[in-house]
Amino acid sequence: MHAFNGEKRYNTLSDSYKLRFGKKVFKVPLDGGFTCPNKDGTKGTGGCIYCSPSGSGDFTADKAMDLKTQFETIKSRMLKKWPDAYTMPYFQANTNTYAPVETLKPLFEAAQFYDDSVVGIAIATRCDALGEDVIDLLDALNKVKPVQLEIGLQTIHEKSAAFINRGHDLACFEKALKAVRQRGIEVVVHIINGLPGESEADMLKTIDHLNTLDIQGLKIHMLHVMEHTALAKYYRESPFHMLTLEEYTAITVKQIERLNPEVVIHRLSGDAPRDTLIAPKWTLKKLVVMNEIDKLLRKKDTHQGLYFNK
């Protein structure tokens, strides 16, 4: 059990990496040119309703560059902030295991050895793009350097999943998670707060359910409405309540209190490009969001896992 008595009252990714690798580690976002089974007609078309044309790759380098060049471009930018840090190439845009293993293998193997700073790789994907052959590959990679597999779940509630056009059910996620964890590969789950029609109780139930599963990391995002998405059209035609900063902070703190204290929190706020974000604008001030969460945790004298029930 952790005792969160420092500045942060939750299990931070930064501390987790420092403990594991001995110093600062930052992820380097990459666009491998992948598509998505929810976009190409295999599972659906149009993708999830909030997904931008870049498939969450809005902060990667130019995808016209080869991956190694993308890595070096963004790494050099980030080294200005953290000159003495290790790196983790992060395959971020769209569904990064959605290709034949013969295509994936050379990309991932090369990324593990871009340079001496690389301590592991992170791969964002969907549960319906994790066939046995892909899991075999991830297992082999994980034996060389750590692999962190990021899987978008967003919500446990099937009604919300249908609304966001997720294209799979909770059972699909749980089956994939179990298969990946049987090989000892770390899993980081993405969830979204503020989906239309979800109450605070619904968002807390998502955390309670994740506590029953074998996950190692969690990313919590606020729902973003961005230009060039199906959600933008829906929002303009049928405006719905977007959580305020105060509401988001209060709900997120309650989620932290309930979350298994062993789970590493990778994110408590998402990013959206300033020029395409329609709402909520408060998410642009990421540091403010993080500070508000920290302030409320201190004010309540609470911490991750306070109300965690095994």
CATH number for 232: 3.20.20.70
Half-sphere exposure of 284 (CA within 13 A, CB side): 12
Q: Provide the pLDDT for residue 57.
A: 47
Is 101 within a domain?
yes
Q: What is the pTM of this model?
A: 0.94
Q: Provide the pLDDT for residue 290.
A: 95
Q: Provide the pLDDT for residue 309.
A: 83
Q: Provide the pLDDT for residue 1.
A: 44
- The domain tally of the chain equals 1
Could you list the beta-strand ranges (E) of 120-215.
121-125, 147-154, 186-193
Give the domain range for residue 175: 13-299
Q: Which of the four pLDDT bands, split at 50, 70 and 90, describes residue 165?
A: confident
Q: Provide the pLDDT for residue 240.
A: 94
Is 165 within a domain?
yes
Is 142 within a domain?
yes
Is 305 within a domain?
no
Q: Which of the four pLDDT bands, split at 50, 70 and 90, describes residue 55?
A: very low
Average the pLDDT over each of 63-72, 134-143, 171-180 and give the range with the smallest value.
63-72
Q: Which residue has the tokens 């968002």?
A: 203
Q: Is the pLDDT of residue 166 over 80?
A: yes
Averaged over 196-208, what is the pLDDT? 97
Is 129 within a domain?
yes
Is 234 within a domain?
yes
Q: Which residue has the tokens 């969907």?
A: 126
Q: Which of the four pLDDT bands, split at 50, 70 and 90, describes residue 51?
A: confident
Give per-residue pLDDT as tens, 111-134.
999 999 999 999 999 999 999 999
Give per-residue pLDDT as tens, 188-198.
999 999 999 99
Counting residues of the chain whose pLDDT is more than 70, the rounded percentage is 93
- Measuring CA to CA, how many Å separate 133 from each of 4, 97, 185, 198, 232? 40, 10, 14, 36, 37
Using only C-alpha atoms, the chain has a radius of gyration, in whole angstroms, of 19
Q: Provide the pLDDT for residue 56.
A: 52
Question: Do 283 and 277 meet the contact criterion of CB atoms below 8 Å apart?
Answer: yes
Q: Which of the four pLDDT bands, split at 50, 70 and 90, describes residue 64?
A: confident
Is 8 within a domain?
no
Question: Do 277 and 284 meet the contact criterion of CB atoms below 8 Å apart?
Answer: yes
Q: Which of the four pLDDT bands, split at 50, 70 and 90, describes residue 256?
A: very high
Q: How many CB atoms lie within 10 A of CB 233?
A: 12
Is 176 within a domain?
yes
Question: Do 3 and 254 meet the contact criterion of CB atoms below 8 Å apart?
Answer: no
CA distance 265 to 256: 9
Q: Provide the pLDDT for residue 46.
A: 72
Averaged over 31-60, what is the pLDDT? 71
Give per-residue pLDDT as tens, 295-304.
999 999 999 9
Paired strand residues for 27:
88
